Amino acid sequence: MTLKEIAQFRKDLLKWFKTYQRKLPWRDTKNPYHIWVSEVMLQQTQVKKVLEYYQKFVDKFPTLWHLAEADLQDVLKIWEGLGYYARARNLHKAAKLVTGEMDGKVPSDYQQFRKLSGVGDYIAAAVQSIAFDSAYAAVDGNVKRVFARLFLIDSPINQSASLKIFQEKADLLLDSHAPGHFNQAMMELGATVCHPKSPTCIVCPVQTFCRAFHTARQEKFPVRVKAKPTPEYHLAVGVVYRNDNILITQRKPDGLLGGLWEFPGGKIDEGETAEAACVRWMQEGVNLSVEIIEFLTRVRHAYTHFKIVVDVFRCDYQSGEVVLNGPVDYRWICVDEIDQYPFPRANHKFIPLLKKIE
């Protein structure tokens, strides 16, 4: 593109954004912390889902101080169901650092902000440009798709080695006089017009500049490397009853679903029955002997890189005292208390059933 074309591209894009952008709560604020929260939530998650969580989160933790002082369990409880819990843990950790060492002010310096927990190139560029009008181009999946089509970029968008190519295009086109609006406009274009399938080119403000459109190759771009087949794991989980209480355990603070609560259990070995695996896991994971009373249900859940099939059993406590091997904490709770704890979505698929058991 020539300099003249770049200038026209920016003008057309920003004009369109001004008129057609969706009204979203995080666009009504210049509060850097709120913008940061929204961008963290939007990473990996659809706007529709984030809308259910954003307001709840900023109402509960209106400032970084509130977030920093909150118990991580309360933060995870609000985040429950949004997935990718490391995002919540990192945000909490960063809030503690910013309040402890930076007077509670979100750093307006890109490098300083980039060093905080959970802040990668995308979050840093998005927050710094939207909150502080700093000229950093933010490149997310939507933006990559738009660029792939605009410039017929055939580097796979799902390979990290390609990021540099997309970032260069974004840096080139970024409007340094309105970087926040420009970044949001690009993301909005990808989300609402330049759809993965059947982009609505007819209403696209930058159609004139789009090589894919002019060569009728929108469907051929972006290019992706084929993902490996998703593995599926079969798990057995026990809901252990002791008198009127049930046992829940807490996962270690980091890693997948870190800090969340769940029912003890684990993978079924080859040739092992689900019942036997359940009894074995109670021994190995929490040192309890249990008797299986009944099969409760089977639930399925898909994570990004694998799927699980979970057989859930109702068990009666027989003997032993809890000794944790894997989990970091445990509680014997009555079913009514279950909503006080953050659980993974897979567990929520059978929790309603437990509430019906007399």
Site residues, ligand SF4 (CB under 6 A): 146, 149-150, 193-194, 199, 201, 204, 206-207, 210, 212-213, 218
d(CA 350, CA 320): 26
Give the containing element (helix H, strand E) for 233: strand 232-242
Q: Could you tell me which of 268, 195, 281 has the C-alpha nearest to residue 238?
A: 281
Phi and psi angles of residue 142, each rounded to the nearest 5 degrees, phi first: -65, -45
| Minimum CB distance to ligand SF4 smaller for 201 or for 353 | 201
| Minimum CB distance to ligand SF4 smaller for 197 or for 356 | 197
| Minimum CB distance to ligand SF4 smaller for 55 or for 215 | 215
d(CA 13, CA 205): 6
Q: Residue 39 catalytic?
A: yes
Please report how close the Cβ of residue 146 comes to ligand SF4 at its closest, in angstroms.
5
Please report how close the Cβ of residue 30 comes to ligand SF4 at its closest, in angstroms.
29
d(CA 220, CA 244): 59
d(CA 110, CA 119): 10
Please report how close the Cβ of residue 194 comes to ligand SF4 at its closest, in angstroms.
3
Q: What is the DSSP string of 297-353?
A: EEEEEE-SS-EEEEEEEEEEEEE-----SS-SEEEEE-GGGGGGS---HHHHTTHHH
Q: Which of 39, 80, 188, 262 is catalytic?
A: 39
Q: Could you tell me which of 178, 203, 209, 200 has the C-alpha nearest to residue 14?
A: 178
Please report how close the Cβ of residue 47 comes to ligand SF4 at its closest, in angstroms.
18
| Minimum CB distance to ligand SF4 smaller for 10 or for 34 | 10
Query: What are the residue numbers of the active site?
Result: 39
